[in-house]
Amino acid sequence: MGKKRSRYNGVFAVKGKLKTSYGIDYVHPQTGQRIRKILKGCQSEAQAAEIRSIEIADAARGVIKKAYGLKVSGPTVLFDDMVTLYLDTWAKTNRDYRTAKHRAAVLRRAFTGKLMSDITPWVIEKFKASEAKEKSKNTVNKYLSLGSQIYEKAIEWGKYEGENPFIKASRFKIKKGKKPGSLSPEEVTAIMSEIRNSVKRAMVEFAFNTGWRISEITRLKWENVDQERGCAWIVNPKNGESVEIELNDRALKIISDQERRGDFVFCHMNGEAFKTGLRDVFKRAAERAKVYLPPRKAWHILRRTWASMFLQVGGDVETLRVLGNWKDYSMPMWYADASRAERRREVLNRLPDLNGRKKAEIVKSKNLTN
């Protein structure tokens, strides 16, 4: 791999084994910081030169306004600095900090050296198209969502005055997947029989009876359980709203059967909380039990199973939403639609069989219903 000089000022080419990449080099007009980076998806030196000119022009707007005594719109903050502030001030209090940090690294690389005011919807559209060549559309949408959150916090904290460019950038349309599958009670029992650790086995049964997410189960503390009232608190869940949830008798029995080794109900022998999910444990147990699990949804299928069974035994969508701790009805309705398919088939099978019943019986039944 070697660098090659270009006939365009501030443009360079890096020749690799498979292709040649193009980059730009310039000094930011406002910050004085040197920007040197490879442009993903850039096809030629001419295209790189054009992008460089646009970036410099965007960056120079603030300098021109100052030179002519025009009003400068808001504080000049580097996107890099705002990402750091967001991660240190806001994201660290969120349980998804590691995920946010990983996605923020992608945004940093794409917008390094740029001021918040430099980033426009057009720049974001270019980033979106470039990332979509190597990553799924759903992943790219998550990058855009994080970028939007960073801008919203910047506006809220008085670090940036202007519109959020990530809101104006369009998102990829993602087709809804197949209706959620679920396991039968016999399949769950078979999987449990292949798990030797009694605590992990109890966690599977607890999930089957409550539909709780694995993170909610591993963080359940004794202080958040009220056996007399038959409920428990889910603290700092995925949707961010702690809530008190009723439990059935079997779930309460599973909790009371656990030995108190520390603060957490389900924990290691030394009382320490489980730091990771049980995806691999559950997946290997299912393989031994010869039970099929959907790709990438190993443990989560227990939540799907609980939701589907709750509706099949007569539960309503609102109660499902409350017990499942969903903020809106989108997911409960998704489960309900899948459950209704079973109900619809059941009703359809009650229709009279012309071959198996006498015409008089059919007429009689019809008269009774009219």
**Percent of the chain's residues with pLDDT above 90:** 38
- The predicted pLDDT at position 252 comes to 96
Q: Are residues 10 and 50 both part of a single domain?
A: yes
For 294, the domain range is 185-348
Task: Establish if 363 belongs to a structural domain.
Answer: no
Task: Establish if 369 belongs to a structural domain.
Answer: no
Q: Where are the strands (E) in the chain, listed by range? A: 2-5, 11-15, 20-27, 34-38, 225-226, 231-234, 243-246
Q: Are residues 302 and 198 both part of a single domain?
A: yes
Residues 346, 278: Cα–Cα separation, whole Å: 36
The domain total for the chain is: 3
Structure-token pair, residue 263: 């603060």
Q: pTM surpassing 0.75?
A: no
Residues 146, 275: Cα–Cα separation, whole Å: 25
Mean pLDDT in residue range 232-256: 88
Structure-token pair, residue 25: 């080099």
Confidence of residue 32 (pLDDT cuts 50, 70, 90): confident
Whether the per-residue pLDDT at 370 is higher than 60: the answer is no
Q: Are residues 193 and 342 both part of a single domain?
A: yes
Task: Establish if 221 belongs to a structural domain.
Answer: yes
Strand partners, 37: 24
Confidence of residue 5 (pLDDT cuts 50, 70, 90): low
Which CATH number goes with the domain that contains 158?
1.10.150.130
**294 alpha-carbon distance from chain centroid:** 17
Q: Which residues, at least 6 apart from 192, have a Cβ–Cβ distance to it below 8 Å?
A: 201, 204, 205, 285
Structure-token pair, residue 57: 């022009």
Q: Residue 335 in contact with residue 307, Cβ under 8 Å?
A: yes
- The predicted pLDDT at position 358 comes to 46
Alpha-carbon distances, residue 3 vs 11, 12, 33, 39, 214 (angstroms): 11, 7, 22, 14, 49
Q: CB atoms < 10 A from the CB of 326, how many?
A: 17
Q: How large is the angle between the packed helices 121-131 and 97-111, nearest 10 degrees?
A: 110
Q: Are residues 166 and 98 both part of a single domain?
A: yes
Whether the per-residue pLDDT at 340 is higher than 80: the answer is no
**Tens digit of pLDDT for each residue in 46-72?**
888 888 888 887 777 666 555 555 455
Q: CB atoms < 10 A from the CB of 337, how many?
A: 12
Between 174 and 254, the more confident residue is 254
Q: Are residues 245 and 322 both part of a single domain?
A: yes
- The predicted pLDDT at position 360 comes to 46
- Determine the length of the chain: 370
Amino acid at 221: K
Choose the final residue of a domain: 113, 144, 173: 173
Choose the final residue of a domain: 120, 144, 173: 173
Whether the per-residue pLDDT at 115 is higher than 50: the answer is yes
Q: Are residues 88 and 59 both part of a single domain?
A: no
- The predicted pLDDT at position 339 comes to 58
Q: Are residues 312 and 252 both part of a single domain?
A: yes
Q: Where are the alpha helices (DSSP H) in 36-113?
A: 45-67, 79-89, 97-111
Q: Are residues 35 and 87 both part of a single domain?
A: no
**Percent of the chain's residues with pLDDT above 70:** 83
Q: Are residues 144 and 290 both part of a single domain?
A: no
Q: Are residues 113 and 23 both part of a single domain?
A: no
Give the chain's largest Cα–Cα span.
97
Q: How large is the angle between the packed helices 249-256 and 198-210, nearest 10 degrees?
A: 160
Task: Establish if 360 belongs to a structural domain.
Answer: no
Choose the final residue of a domain: 173, 205, 230: 173
Which CATH number goes with the domain that contains 227?
1.10.443.10
Q: Are residues 98 and 209 both part of a single domain?
A: no
Task: Establish if 278 belongs to a structural domain.
Answer: yes
Task: Establish if 8 belongs to a structural domain.
Answer: yes
Between 61 and 327, the more confident residue is 327
**Tens digit of pLDDT for each residue in 275-322?**
877 888 999 999 999 998 877 678 888 998 898 888 888 888 899 999
Structure-token pair, residue 5: 């000089």
Task: Establish if 296 belongs to a structural domain.
Answer: yes
Give the phi and the psi of residue 79 in degrees, each rounded to 5: -60, -40
Between 193 and 94, the more confident residue is 193
Whether the per-residue pLDDT at 359 is higher than 50: the answer is no
Q: Are residues 226 and 315 both part of a single domain?
A: yes
Task: Establish if 155 belongs to a structural domain.
Answer: yes
Least confident of 2-6, 21-25, 112-116, 123-127: 2-6
Mean pLDDT in residue range 204-225: 94
**CA 203-275-100 angle, 5° bins:** 115
